[in-house]
Amino acid sequence: MADAKEKFLSYLPNDFKEYTYKELNWLPSKYFNGGVFWSREDDEPQRPFTLPDGDISNLNKIIRDLLYRTTDSWPYGPNLVQFWAPITKNEGRSFLTTRNQPFSLITSFYNGLGIDGLCGYRMICMDSKFDIDLDGGKTCEQHLPLPGRVFKHQFPESTPNVEFYSVTEYPQRDDALRCGVRESLAFPVFEPSTQRCVGVIEVVTLEDDLIIPICERLIRYGIYEDFEMKGLKCPIGFDHKDMELDEAQNEARTVALDEIKNVLKVVCEVYDLPLAQAWVPCKVGWPCRPLVDGGILGVSCYYYKHEDKRRDFQYINSMFHLKNGVGVVGRALSSTDMVFCRDVTQLSLTEYPLAHYARKYGLSGCFAICLQSSCTENDDYVLEFFLPVSNETNENPHASLKKILKTMRKDFRTLRVASRKELGEDFCIEEIGGEKLDHVQRPQTTISLPWSEPLQSEVEVMQVDSSDQQSMNAINTGSNVGGTERDNIAITCMQEKSTVKASKRKGNKSRGTIKASEIIGNKSGVKLKLP
């Protein structure tokens, strides 16, 4: 043990080694080159601790024990795991800090490769603290950094590439890149008796494609159960499953899911979609429900082409879940209707926590519809379809949606739209967009538009708020005017949140105008009528 400790310490940069000798105690990993570190202010580090209800006085010691348990589950590859805890200053404001909190440091199995970068990132984080008192201000909300977002929203966040963050979203981004950080994962830790978040665990790696195997090992080795044994909860690896169902209920659920699987398969094969999946919301009494206010959705079934990258994206979806009302899927559930987004990679991580993974795996356009089955009565199922990237330039996306809906309608047996509208009725598809941070917005105007090539439907309603005719035509045709123009269009959809009705076309249907005649609720999007 002593030889292992000295060997690892020899890899440390001098400033970090001095810091370790002066302020830290540490325990080497049994299997990897590294270990768990903690402040010498902590008492009796190797004594087992549990957390009494509502008492977090021993929290840092419990986290240390958990880090030591999970550290031996990491796959090979350098990584840093650190705990961010809330503190209150004399002036009464609360901050998140990782100073004097436990952390684990693992380098390569046989040598100290990457240790300088991890130590450097740890020192930078120790000098950072993040205000988590938002005072109800929208600006402060938008400028919450990574640990602050996870703490406030009490939901995991991960990225396959820290370059995808803006500096506003991740203030340490440039420093992290200089230190060689590639991927990150952060998740909240809960005290179960009060359901309050008591801190955030952050994992960073220096290699690509490590977060997925790390999460796989965490789940395989029972991180959720480990936290429960210590009197804590975490949202990684919990069992998102329904309560015990009797035989009739199980049979009904099987019939509904079999029909959904068939719909996913048919639509993907007919329209060459890269991925489709069905999400099921949790219910009161399910084990996952207490972790998230308002409930979450987990993937129940899916269909994708036989490509490894789609499988990885689907796995990330099944592991992280979504909140009700968040993302295209969450919005479809909350509205019990249909929602469309032209490019989910332009949504913020607050709006869509999986945006960075969609970007990595080449997914953009997304459509979701909330359904129910007559077999399972009021149970909701949200079907999510990712559109081919080629669709952005080759076809009006609204035409694609109409075709998909017509195909789905043919394959419905027990399924129906949760809003109880038939797919042959006049209905709205809410369209959401995303706004890039630090983007300079242009003034909004409302204009009349020329009709594009007519669809084989009676009425089409388009978003009419834009900054110029060219941008609006780009929406209608699906063409790309340019990266900046396209981002502005997405912002318009998000800000105005309105839809307009179109008068029926008469006479020459190839020309005409769309004029605003009615505001419908608080949604933006299109209205389609299938024959």
DSSP string, 336-383: TSEEEES-GGGS-TTT-TTHHHHHHTT---EEEEEEEETTTTT-EEEE
Better-predicted residue by pLDDT, 265 or 495: 265
Across residues 253-273, what is the average pLDDT? 91
pLDDT of residue 17: 94
Per-residue pLDDT band at 356 (split at 50, 70, 90) = very high
Better-predicted residue by pLDDT, 374 or 1: 374
pLDDT at 490 over 50: no
136 Cβ contact list (under 8 Å, min separation 6): none
Of 11-15, 239-243, 263-267, which range is least confident? 239-243
Report in angstroms the alpha-carbon separations of 113 from 6, 7, 108, 140, 151.
16, 13, 6, 38, 32
pLDDT of residue 127: 92
Per-residue pLDDT band at 25 (split at 50, 70, 90) = very high
Across residues 496-520, what is the average pLDDT? 34
Neighbours of 44 (CB within 10 A): 7
pLDDT of residue 382: 93
3-state helix/strand/coil string of 102-139: CEEEECCCCCCCCHHHHHHHHHHHHCCEEECCCCCCHH
pLDDT at 291 over 50: yes
pLDDT over 70 for what percent of the chain?
Answer: 66
In three-state secondary structure terms, 402 is: helix
Better-predicted residue by pLDDT, 118 or 71: 118
Of 529, 523, 530, 526, the closest CA to residue 331 belongs to 523
Question: Which alpha helices (DSSP H) does 207-284 contain, by range?
Answer: 211-220, 223-229, 247-271
Instruction: Provide the pairing of β-strand 157-159 with 34-39.
Output: unpaired
What span, in angstroms and rounded, lies between the C-alpha atoms of 357 and 340? 18
Per-residue pLDDT band at 491 (split at 50, 70, 90) = very low
Across residues 310-334, what is the average pLDDT? 86
CATH topology of domain 247-528: Beta-Lactamase (3.30.450)
Of 126, 120, 122, 121, the closest CA to residue 100 belongs to 126
Q: Which helix (H) or strand (E) holds 39?
A: strand 34-39
Per-residue pLDDT band at 300 (split at 50, 70, 90) = confident
pLDDT at 157 over 90: yes
pLDDT at 360 over 50: yes
Report in angstroms the alpha-carbon separations of 220 from 83, 217, 262.
22, 5, 30
pLDDT of residue 185: 94
219 Cβ contact list (under 8 Å, min separation 6): 236, 237, 319
Instruction: Provide the pairing of β-strand 415-417 with 449-450.
Output: unpaired
Residue 199, Ramachandran bin (φ over 0: left; ψ between -120 and 50: alpha; else beta): left
Better-predicted residue by pLDDT, 524 or 484: 524
What span, in angstroms and rounded, lies between the C-alpha atoms of 81 and 74? 10
Of 82-91, 325-334, 445-454, which range is least confident? 445-454
Across residues 393-417, what is the average pLDDT? 81
Which class for 162: exposed (0-12), middle (13-18), buried (19 or more C-beta within 10 A)?
Answer: buried
DSSP state letter for 292: S
pLDDT of residue 493: 30
pLDDT at 279 over 70: yes
Of 88-92, 146-150, 501-505, which range is least confident? 501-505
- List, in sequence order, every residue forming a beta bridge with 445; answer none if it has no partner: 466
Across residues 104-117, what is the average pLDDT? 79
Measured in whole angstroms, how far is the alpha carbon of residue 110 from the centre of its chain? 35
Q: Are 322 and 353 within 8 A, CB to CB?
A: yes
Of 126-130, 274-278, 516-520, which range is least confident? 516-520
What span, in angstroms and rounded, lies between the C-alpha atoms of 168 and 44? 40
The sign of the dihedral angle between the CA atoms of 15, 18, 22, 24 is: positive
Of 143-157, 324-338, 389-403, which range is least confident? 389-403
Q: What is the CATH number of domain 2-229?
A: 3.30.450.40
**What is the per-residue pLDDT across 422-478, written as a single tens digit (0 to 9) for each?**
665 556 788 888 443 332 232 332 222 232 333 333 333 333 333 333 333 333 334
pLDDT of residue 141: 65
Domain ranges of the chain: 2-229, 247-528
The yes-or-no answer to whether 2-229 and 247-528 have a common fold is yes
Per-residue pLDDT band at 250 (split at 50, 70, 90) = confident
pLDDT of residue 504: 37
pLDDT of residue 343: 94
